[in-house]
């Protein structure tokens, strides 16, 4: 598979995965771009031992985790809300709220639910995250319960 096809096929899904981590459209775009740079650099080394989608999502997930770790070490000053809202105005309020709630989850839960929302098979999620498939099923169920509770608390 050539890089252009990979990019066209996976860009939106990787962007949404990053959005689930950050709830910040600009940062999500940057993180997705960084993930695709890594994919482009590593593509010649890809040996088809896993699905290409598993490989790409693992790269993107690891990139998101690295970014979160950097932010913890070097917190940046909060930007005024109107600076970030330009990009997010195009997103439906319910979806925006979902991204907000997902970004409040633990790192592992964020990646699991983001991959689940991308319709990635649970066996593949287990490979990406490094947990058993049974554990993934339980975690997805619990995460959905948490998100449902947050919507209820928010009057949704």
Instruction: Express each pLDDT in 92-139 by its tens digit.
Output: 788 888 888 988 898 889 889 988 988 889 999 998 888 899 999 999
Domain count, the chain: 1
- Least confident segment among 20-24, 80-84, 107-111, 112-116: 80-84
Expressed as residue numbers, the domain containing 16 is 3-153
**In this structure, are residues 111 and 58 in contact, taking their beta carbons and an 8 Å threshold?**
no
CATH number, domain of 16, equals: 1.20.140
**In this structure, are residues 17 and 60 in contact, taking their beta carbons and an 8 Å threshold?**
yes
């Amino acid at each position: 598979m050539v890089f252009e096809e990979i990019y066209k096929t996976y860009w939106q899904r990787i962007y949404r995965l990053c959005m689930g981590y950050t709830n910040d459209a600009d940062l999500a775009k940057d993180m997705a771009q960084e993930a695709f740079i890594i994919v482009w650099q590593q593509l010649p080394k890809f040996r088809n031992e896993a699905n290409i989608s598993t490989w790409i999502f693992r790269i993107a997930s690891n990139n998101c985790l690295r970014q979160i770790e950097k932010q913890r070490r070097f917190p940046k000053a909060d930007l005024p809300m109107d600076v970030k809202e330009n990009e997010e105005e195009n997103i439906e309020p319910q979806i925006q709220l979902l991204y907000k709630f997902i970004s409040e989850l633990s790192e592992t839960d964020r990646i699991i639910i983001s991959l689940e929302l991308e319709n990635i098979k649970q066996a593949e999620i287990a490979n990406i995250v490094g947990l058993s498939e049974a554990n993934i099923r339980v975690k997805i169920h619990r995460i959905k319960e948490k998100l449902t509770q947050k919507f209820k608390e928010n009057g949704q």
